[in-house]
Structure 1
Amino acid sequence: MTQQIKWGIIGCGDVTEVKSGPAFNKVPDSKLVAVMRRNADKAADYARRHGVPKWYADADELINDPDVNAIYIATPPSTHAGYTLAALQAGKPVYVEKPMALNAAEARQMFDYATEKNVKLCVAHYRRLQPMFLKIKSLIDTKVIGDIRFVQLQLLQSSSAKLIARSEENWRTDPALSGGGLFHDLAPHQIDLMLYLFGAIEQYRGEAFNQANVSAADDLVNGSLLFANGVVFNGLWCFTVNESDTADICTIYGSEGNISFGFFGQNVSVTINGQTELLEFPPLQHVEQPMIEKVVTYFLGHSENPCDGAVGTEVMEIIDAFAGTTTSG
């Protein structure tokens, strides 16, 4: 029986430098043993700086390395399905970055294949295990603000906002690589957390527009969810507002008050009968570490899957609907 998860990273780019990469050596029973990037010089540099024993410029070589028994995929979404299927074919469990794939059809293929091969698959919706969002879930579950009525979300960013991740290839605004635009990069976190907080969905719909035409991707998305428990969610994402109008705010309204927070912030305000308490959460050194720890225990057979392919596929179905590709209801 496996006693230690020995990771190989496919795509050791910017996202792995601090957010995830170092955490693989910091959680119990886990070790990062190999990394891959198509640029051999950059793969070698990453391995040297992070103390990783092996590096590759070919994903198949990493997947078939006998010292690697689990794969983390952190490439642009256009390659998630192909690399995931190859790793599953090799019998190696996969932890794949969000968004899970280019679209729901690819995500479903990944989930179905993992089920068919009986190989474990996790999706990196890592915010659901961070202390701030665990606290929000606890506040909801214990009915601190009473029965939940509805949720309002606004993520408004300028084209130069610091929140938006940068990379050499700028793939996030190329639909062929990302599936869409910045909505596809940032909204999976938020939509997954809505599922985590409120459960099963009855219907959803949305629409998307390319208003500014600064890239091939839509820059404004509007969407709504109706949960089986009656909670209504409305979200608006716009990535071309004036710098002075940027916002990251989500407010959950209940019968006794509200909970307000930013998905990319560190504070939660809880207002009950007009009285507000501010809860502050220190930033995590490696934002994916709590999720990686749970993924490791799942791969070792000691816990349940923290975010499985079914959830990842449902998030992609909603992404597709909000982007105007499909509707459900």
Structure 2
Amino acid sequence: MQEIKWGMIGCGDVTEVKSGPAFNKVPKSSLVAVMRRDAEKAKDYAFRHGVPKWYADGEALINDPEVNAIYIATPPAQHEAYCQLALAAGKPVYVEKPMTLNAESGLRMEEASIRYDTKLTVAHYRRAQPMFLKIKSLLENGIIGDVRFAGLQMLQPQQSDLIANVESNWRLDPAISGGGLFHDLAPHQLDLMVYFFGEFDQSTGFSLNQSGSAKVDDLVTGQILFKNGVVFTGTWCFSVSEQDKTDVCEIIGSNGRISFPVFGNKVTLIKEGRTEVFDFEALEHVQQPMIEKVTAYFLDQAENPCSAEQAILSMKLMDSFTK
């Protein structure tokens, strides 16, 4: 391949700004076809974003001879089926997070990628953003010494502004989402922990539905022991008051600490009584840096920025917290 010509399956809110327009802003990349089961909405999306082709059937898009790579942006329940079809057609896949509903499904997707010898990347796009690359650099350079532990709190009201307003909130249907707002937001956070600290030895947690306002658990806690000795503790609650909203992760080392929001743009380094703040500009298209890396990978010019094997680790963590 000399250029990646993307076919996008799913035209929901995540694709309007976060990802969709970025495919045409990356060198050697263009969005040539989109699909949504509602034909009128697919046509409307294509018209508004200047996409030449639109479909109401995913398999038809996959089989379009002009399309040579697939981006799957449907709700998680549909990820595996579309991924299997695309890989069987020999077309590399970039699939949204969470990778799928659970680790078992993720392993099947990974096995299909191996069986069909076709590339698969998962959209844990924070791995490519400048803010999180800075944090990784601080850790790798030992700026806060040896990391001891990390703690995370994600506390949100039921109507969190981190979630796009949609006609029907499929995120609150566990059969579609895997398990509520935790399964929508935690993949970002847990993948970052895997990105920073590597593989883990043990993980455990529990979850429950405290508010009873939907069919999903709205409180999740989890602990991880990484192979390098780092311990992580996290709390996610989606039924707090507006005034108690919190999004903070702290990484504590032997010589200091790093504090940051996962859904924000500021990193605070505290070391030897001094505080240093790193501010980052909000990205117009949050997935653009990742799409650049995926495009390079699909063109055999770079390594996989987030493999199925890596993404399955965060799926296993979510499964262990919510089992």
Shorter-chain TM-score range: over 0.9
What is the CA distance between 1:168 and its match in structure 2? 2.2
Is the CA contact 2:194–2:313 (under 8 Å) kept in the aligned structure 1? no
What is the CA distance between 1:163 and its match in structure 2? 1.5
Distance in 1, Cα, partners of 2:168 & 2:79: 17
Per-residue CA shift, 1:60-118, capped at 9, x if unaligned?
11000000000000000000000000001111000000000011111110001101110
Matched residue, 2:275: 276
What is the CA distance between 1:314 and its match in structure 2? 1.5
Distance in 1, Cα, partners of 2:7 & 2:272: 51
Query: Does 1:53 find its partner at 2:66?
Result: no
Aligned residue runs from structure 1 range 87-98, under 5 A: 87-98=86-97
- SS class of match (1:20): helix
Distance in 1, Cα, partners of 2:197 & 2:288: 24
Distance in 1, Cα, partners of 2:261 & 2:313: 23
Matched residue, 1:22: 21
1:121 counterpart letter in structure 2: L
> Which contiguous aligned blocks of 4+ residues in structure 1 show a shift greater than 6 angstroms?
none
Distance in 2, Cα, partners of 1:272 & 1:19: 34
Matched residue, 1:111: 110
2:223 counterpart letter in structure 1: S
2:236 counterpart letter in structure 1: W
Distance in 1, Cα, partners of 2:44 & 2:141: 48
Per-residue CA shift, 1:171-194, capped at 9, x if unaligned?
001001001010000000010000
Distance in 2, Cα, partners of 1:271 & 1:184: 31
Aligned residue runs from structure 1 range 151-300, under 5 A: 151-300=150-299
Matched residue, 2:33: 34
Number of residue pairs aligned between Structure 1 and Structure 2: 323
What is the CA distance between 1:286 and its match in structure 2? 0.3
Per-residue CA shift, 1:203-234, capped at 9, x if unaligned?
11111000001100000000011111111000
Matched residue, 2:133: 134
Matched residue, 2:309: 310
Per-residue CA shift, 1:19-48, capped at 9, x if unaligned?
000000000100100000001111001000
Matched residue, 1:147: 146
TM-score norm. by structure 2 comes to 0.99
What is the CA distance between 1:130 and its match in structure 2? 0.2
For structure 1, the 5+ residue unaligned runs are none
- SS class of match (1:18): helix
Matched residue, 2:79: 80
Distance in 1, Cα, partners of 2:6 & 2:300: 16
Distance in 1, Cα, partners of 2:240 & 2:201: 32
Distance in 2, Cα, partners of 1:300 & 1:30: 10
TM-score norm. by structure 1 comes to 0.97
Per-residue CA shift, 1:249-286, capped at 9, x if unaligned?
00000111100000001000000012111110000000
Is the CA contact 2:199–2:313 (under 8 Å) kept in the aligned structure 1? no
What is the CA distance between 1:161 and its match in structure 2? 2.3
Instruction: Give the fraction of aligned pairs with identical amino acids, expressed as a percent.
Output: 61
For structure 2, the 5+ residue unaligned runs are none
What is the CA distance between 1:12 and its match in structure 2? 1.0
Is the CA contact 2:123–2:306 (under 8 Å) kept in the aligned structure 1? yes
Distance in 1, Cα, partners of 2:225 & 2:164: 30
1:253 counterpart letter in structure 2: I
